[in-house]
Structure formats: structure tokens, C-alpha cells
């Protein structure tokens, strides 16, 4: 596991953000696009575990082809890094309840294509998102980096277009 701090690149007054790369996955530069870089379930779980992010599945499984599982197979690296950025910036406990498994809505920026994660609702996360991001209507908030946080009835559905300013 390789960790890289961006404080030096962003200046002395910047909040330190540490990127965590999965084994065998390079971090590249902070401006490099990672949307097409796919990681495995094992790489993602190692990244999440090291960042203190938990995950759960109603089916207690990780098979991408079973809708009751929570899978990270074919997750975009930037999506995993975006979740880690959210964890570090918010200080909230994060639990992922949806990944790349079948059963979510289709589309280019979909769960299946590695752009989305679902997070359990919590007071900490709810307050962080609604107070730090811009409301764009319809129970949606957008971060300064452009990622979209949609509060559904029982979870946050997050679309990561990038790593969240990592």
C-alpha cells in the first residue's frame, strides 16, 4: 500500500489529504484522470480497510452478479479514492452498502460502470454533506470537485466523476 500526501503540492495552508493506492495500482499525478482505471474487489477492500471505511451487504457476499451482494469488482480507482477523500475530510464513519453489483440503475455514470457507491445514512455524514456541499435541488448536493451526493430514502447515492480533490 503506497500513501502520498498532497499538502506540499497544494501549499502550506491546505488540508493534508493522503491518497491510498491499491497494490499494483499507480497514483499518477493529482491532475491525471483515473476514471478508466479499474480495480479489483480485493484492491478496493484493502484500500477501504486501511482508510477505516466499512462495507456491508444484505446477502453477506461480494459477487458482482448478485444484487444482494456488495461488490467492488471493476470499481474506478477515482471512486475508491473519492470515498477515502470523503472519509478524511468529513471525519465521519462511512459504511458502503452498494458498489458495482447488478441491480442498480443503468447509465454511463452508474454503479455497474464503477462511478457510484452507496453509503449508510448517519447524522455525521448527513450534516457534513448538507453543510459543505452546494444544494442542486431534488435532494442532491454537489461538491466543489463536481461529485454528486443524492440522498435517497435509506442511503446516500454518490457519483464520483473524480477522486474528490485528492
pLDDT digits (tens, 9 = 90+) for 101-112: 999 999 999 999
Q: Residue 54: pLDDT above 90?
A: yes
- State the average pLDDT over residues 68-86: 97
Judge if pTM exceeds 0.95: no
Q: Using 50, 70 and 90 to split pLDDT, how confident is the model at 36?
A: low
Taking CA atoms, 91 is separated from 28, 83, 119, in Å, by: 25, 12, 14
Amino acid at each position: 500500500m503506497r500513501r502520498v500526501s498532497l499538502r506540499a503540492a497544494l501549499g502550506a495552508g491546505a488540508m493534508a489529504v493522503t491518497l491510498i493506492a491499491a497494490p499494483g495500482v499507480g497514483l499518477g499525478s493529482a491532475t491525471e484522470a483515473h476514471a478508466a482505471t479499474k480495480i479489483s474487489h480485493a484492491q478496493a477492500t484493502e484500500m477501504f480497510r486501511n482508510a477505516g471505511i466499512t462495507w456491508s451487504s444484505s446477502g453477506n457476499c461480494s459477487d458482482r452478479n448478485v444484487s444482494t451482494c456488495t461488490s467492488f469488482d471493476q470499481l474506478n480507482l477515482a471512486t475508491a479514492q473519492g470515498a477515502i477523500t470523503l472519509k478524511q475530510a468529513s471525519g465521519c464513519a462511512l459504511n458502503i452498502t452498494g458498489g458495482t453489483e447488478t441491480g442498480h440503475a443503468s447509465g454511463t455514470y452508474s454503479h455497474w460502470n464503477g462511478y457510484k457507491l452507496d453509503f449508510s445514512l448517519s447524522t455525521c455524514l448527513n450534516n457534513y454533506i448538507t453543510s459543505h456541499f452546494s444544494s442542486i435541488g431534488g435532494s442532491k448536493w454537489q461538491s466543489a470537485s463536481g461529485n454528486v451526493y443524492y440522498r435517497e430514502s435509506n442511503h446516500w447515492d454518490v457519483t464520483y466523476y473524480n477522486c474528490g480533490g485528492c
